[in-house]
C-alpha cells in the first residue's frame, strides 16, 4: 500500500476525546477583550483592588506589545481574539464533594477517567472545568501538614499574604505579550503551597479541559515550595474538537526554595484548532531541583518553553519534553535554562515526532551568566519524521559569559525506514502496529518517567490513533 495512504491513518490528529457537553454557564463576558471585560472578571471574582490594578496595568502592556514574529505563525490570531469569550463561569460555587458536582460535568470527568484515577493513585484533585474550579479535594493528612492545594482564586482569597508576596514575581506581566494577556484576564488554575520540610509522596493532580467554543482559557498556576519540601504535580488536558479557532494561554510560576525538589508533569492533548501559548518558569534556589516533564500533542500551534532559572548555588534543572506534530500542526517547543549561580547543572532532553505536513521545532536557550562558574548544561534533541513531507527544525541558542562552564548540545533526526518496518512486519505486526512500536520506542526514555497510568494512557493513545483508515 502507498505510504501516503497509510500515514493518513497514523497521527494523533484524529482527536479521540472529541465530545461536547451541553453548556451550563451562569455568566460569561462579551466576546473580545476590553477594559470593561477585565473589570467584570475582577468584579465577579470579588478581588481586592490591587489585583484589579494589576490586571488593568497588564492589559495596557498587552496592548502595547507587538505580536511576536518568531516561532509559529500567529497572523490569524488577532482576528481570533476578537471573537473569543475571555471569561466563562460555569457555576457559582466551588464544589468540595464529588456528589455535588453537576451531572453533565461529572459525566465529562468520568469519560476522562478522573474518579477512577483518583481512587487508585491520586491523593488530591483540583479539576478545572472551563474557567473555574468545580471540583476540589485534598487529603486530610496533607491539610494537617499545612499543604495548600486550591484553586488560584481561593489561594488569593484565603492566603492573601503568601499569594501577594509571590504572585507575578517569576513571570511579570511585562515578560511577553501573552504573559501580559494572561495577567489581565487570568481565571482558574491551581495554587499550591508546600511548607518547609514537607514531602508529598503521591502526586497532586489537576485535570482540566476546555469545553466551550471560542472560549479562551487563561489559567494561572502558582506553586511555592518551601525549604526542603518535595512534591510532584501532574496536569493533563484534553479539549473537544471545534471548527473555529480556540486559544489557550497559561502562566505557570514555580518557586523552589533552598533544598526543595519539585516535578511538574504535563500531558496536553489539545484539539487541532487550538493556539496553545504558555509561559512556564521556575526559579530554583540553592541546591534545589526542578524537573519539567512536558508532553505536547494536538493543537494548531503550540509555543511552549519550560524554563529553569538557576539562581542559587548547586541548583539543578531538568527539562524533558515530547512533541507530536500532525497534519496542519506546528509544535514549537523546547526549554530554557539560565545559569546565574556557581555549580548549577541542567539538562534538556527533547523528542519530537512529525507526521504528514506537521512541523516540530526545537527552540531552546542555554544561558550562563558571568560568575556561574562550573555551570554544566547538556542539551539533547531528537526528531523522528514519519514521512518525507514532515518537517523538523532546531533553533538552539547558547549564550555563555562565564569561562568556566561546560555546555553540550547534540541533535539527531531520523526517519521511519522501510527496513525497520519490514523487519517488524516480518514478525507479524501490521504496518500501523510497526509504526506505533517504533514511535513508542522513540519516546520511551521520557515516557518511562511518567507515572504508570499516564505512560499507559500515552501508549494507548498512540496505538489508538494509528488504527483505522488504512485501506
Between 30 and 460, CB nearer to other proteins: 460
Q: Say which residue the cell 514549537 belongs to.
A: 332
User: Under the criterion CB under 8 A, does residue 66 sit at the interface with other proteins?
Assistant: no
Looking at the DSSP bridge assignments, the partners of residue 194 are: 225
Q: What's the min distance (Å) between Cβ of 431 and other proteins?
A: 8
Determine the Cα–Cα distance for residues 30 and 216; give it in Å rounded to an integer. 12
Stretch that binds other proteins, among 203-211, 221-229, 359-367, 443-451 (CB under 8 A): 443-451
425 interacts with other proteins by CB under 8 A:
yes
Find where cell 521545532 sits.
361
Please identify, using beta-carbon distances, which residue of 410 and 444 lies nearer to other proteins.
444
Q: How far apart are the first and last CA of the chain?
A: 8
Q: Does residue 444 belong to the site contacting other proteins (CB under 8 A)?
A: yes
Q: Could you say whether residue 426 binds other proteins (CB under 8 A)?
A: yes
Our finding on whether 168 is near other proteins (CB under 8 A) is: no
Q: By CB under 8 A, how many residues form the interface with other proteins? A: 22
- Of 420, 449, 453, 457, the one binding other proteins (CB under 8 A) is 420
Q: Name which of 457 and 467 has its Cβ closer to other proteins.
A: 467
Coil, strand or helix at 451:
coil
431 contacts other proteins (rule: CB under 8 A): yes
Cell of 193: 503551597
Among 75, 97, 144, 419, binds other proteins (CB under 8 A): 419
Does residue 415 bind other proteins (CB under 8 A)?
A: no
Regarding 409 and contact with other proteins (CB under 8 A), the answer is no
The Cα angle at residue 76 between residues 213 and 89, in degrees rounded to 5: 25
Min CB(463)–other proteins separation in Å? 10
Enumerate helices (H) and strands (E) in the chain, giving the number of each.
13, 24
Using rule CB under 8 A, residue 165 touches other proteins: no
Count Cβ neighbours within 10 Å for each residue of 382-404 and write b for 16 or more, e otherwise.
bbbbbbeebbbebebeeebebee
Nearest residue to 181 via CA among 254, 128, 249: 249
- 379's enclosing H/E stretch is strand 375-385
CA-based nearest residue to 221, from 314, 299, 292: 292
Q: Is 449 in the site for other proteins (CB under 8 A)?
A: no
Phi-psi region of 347 (alpha: psi -120 to 50; beta: other; left: phi over 0): beta
Q: Does 471 bind other proteins (CB under 8 A)?
A: no
Question: What is the smallest separation between the CB atom of 436 and other proteins, expressed in angstroms?
Answer: 9
Site membership for other proteins, residue 440 (CB under 8 A):
yes
Contact flag: residue 324 with other proteins (CB under 8 A): no
Measured distance CA(400)–CA(107) in Å, rounded: 52
- Selected from 174, 230, 429, 449, the binder of other proteins by CB under 8 A is 429
Contact 166, 221 (CB under 8 A): no
Supply the DSSP symbol for 131: T
Distance CA 146, CA 141 (A): 9
Strands 301-304 and 405-415: unpaired
Binding other proteins (rule: CB under 8 A), the pick from 104, 430, 449, 453 is 430
Among residues 135, 164, 159, the alpha carbon closest in space to that of 147 is found at 159
Specify the residue, 256 or 416, whose C-beta has the smaller distance to other proteins: 416
When asked if residue 424 is in the footprint of other proteins (CB under 8 A), the reply is yes
The residue from 423, 452, 464, 468 that contacts other proteins (CB under 8 A) is 423
- Residue that is written with C-alpha cell 496536569 in the block: 235
Span of 276-284, 306-314, 373-381, 420-428 interacting with other proteins by CB under 8 A: 420-428
442 binds other proteins (CB under 8 A): yes
Sheet strands (E) in 83-141: 88-89, 124-129, 132-137
**Single residue of 70, 79, 201, 428 touching other proteins by CB under 8 A:** 428
Is 411 among the residues that bind other proteins (CB under 8 A)? no
119 binds other proteins (CB under 8 A): no
Give the interface segment with other proteins, choosing from 127-135, 270-278, 353-361, 433-441 (CB under 8 A). Answer: 433-441
Min dist CB 334 to other proteins, Å, is 21
Pair 207, 177: CB distance under 8 Å = no
Q: Which of 422, 460, 464, 468 binds other proteins (CB under 8 A)?
A: 422
Q: How far is CA 42 from the centre of its chain?
A: 25
- Binding residues for other proteins, rule: CB under 8 A, are 418-420, 422-431, 433, 437-438, 440-445
Amino acid at each position: 500500500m502507498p505510504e501516503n495512504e497509510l500515514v493518513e491513518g497514523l497521527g494523533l490528529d484524529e482527536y479521540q476525546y472529541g465530545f461536547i457537553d451541553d453548556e451550563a454557564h451562569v455568566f460569561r463576558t462579551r466576546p473580545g477583550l476590553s477594559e470593561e471585560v477585565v473589570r467584570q472578571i475582577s468584579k465577579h471574582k470579588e478581588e481586592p483592588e490591587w489585583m484589579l490594578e494589576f490586571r488593568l496595568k497588564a492589559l495596557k502592556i498587552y496592548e502595547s506589545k507587538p505580536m511576536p514574529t518568531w516561532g509559529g505563525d500567529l497572523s490569524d490570531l488577532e482576528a481570533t481574539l476578537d471573537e473569543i469569550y475571555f471569561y466563562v463561569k460555569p457555576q457559582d460555587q466551588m464544589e468540595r464533594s464529588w456528589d455535588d458536582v453537576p451531572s453533565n460535568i461529572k459525566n465529562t470527568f468520568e469519560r476522562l477517567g478522573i474518579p477512577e484515577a483518583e481512587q487508585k493513585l491520586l491523593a488530591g484533585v483540583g479539576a478545572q472545568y472551563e474557567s473555574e474550579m468545580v471540583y476540589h479535594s485534598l487529603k486530610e493528612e496533607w491539610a494537617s501538614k499545612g499543604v495548600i492545594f486550591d484553586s488560584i482564586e481561593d489561594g488569593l482569597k484565603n492566603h492573601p499574604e503568601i499569594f501577594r508576596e509571590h504572585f507575578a514575581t517569576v513571570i511579570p506581566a511585562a515578560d511577553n505579550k501573552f504573559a501580559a494577556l494572561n495577567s489581565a484576564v487570568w481565571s482558574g488554575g491551581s495554587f499550591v503551597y508546600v511548607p518547609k520540610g514537607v514531602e508529598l509522596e503521591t502526586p497532586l493532580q489537576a485535570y482540566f479541559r476546555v469545553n466551550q467554543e471560542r472560549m479562551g482559557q487563561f489559567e494561572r498556576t502558582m506553586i511555592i515550595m518551601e525549604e526542603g519540601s518535595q512534591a510532584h504535580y501532574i496536569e493533563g488536558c484534553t479539549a473537544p474538537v471545534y471548527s473555529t479557532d480556540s486559544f489557550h494561554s497559561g502562566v505557570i510560576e514555580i518557586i523552589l526554595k533552598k533544598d526543595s525538589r519539585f516535578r511538574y508533569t504535563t500531558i496536553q492533548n489539545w484539539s487541532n484548532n487550538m493556539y496553545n501559548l504558555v509561559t512556564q518558569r521556575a526559579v530554583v534556589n540553592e541546591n534545589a531541583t526542578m524537573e519539567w516533564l512536558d508532553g505536547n500533542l494536538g493543537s494548531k500551534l503550540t509555543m511552549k518553553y519550560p524554563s529553569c532559572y538557576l539562581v542559587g548555588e548547586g541548583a539543578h534543572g531538568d527539562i524533558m519534553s515530547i512533541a507530536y506534530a500532525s497534519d496542519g500542526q506546528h509544535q514549537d517547543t523546547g526549554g530554557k535554562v539560565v545559569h546565574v549561580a556557581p555549580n548549577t547543572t541542567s539538562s534538556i532532553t527533547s523528542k519530537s515526532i512529525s507526521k504528514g505536513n506537521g512541523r516540530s521545532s526545537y527552540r531552546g536557550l542555554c544561558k550562563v551568566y558571568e560568575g556561574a562558574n562550573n555551570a554544566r548544561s547538556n542539551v539533547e534533541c531528537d526528531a523522528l519524521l514519519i514521512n518525507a513531507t514532515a518537517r523538523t527544525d532546531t533553533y538552539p541558542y547558547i549564550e555563555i559569559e562565564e569561562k568556566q562552564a561546560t555546555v553540550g548540545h547534540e541533535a539527531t533526526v531520523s526517519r521511519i525506514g522501510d527496513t525497520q518496518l519490514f523487519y517488524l512486519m516480518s514478525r507479524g505486526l501490521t504496518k500501523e502496529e510497526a509504526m506505533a512500536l517504533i514511535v513508542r520506542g522513540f519516546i520511551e526514555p521520557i515516557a518511562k518517567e511518567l507515572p504508570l497510568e499516564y505512560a499507559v494512557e500515552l501508549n494507548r493513545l498512540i496505538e489508538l490513533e494509528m488504527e483505522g483508515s488504512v485501506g
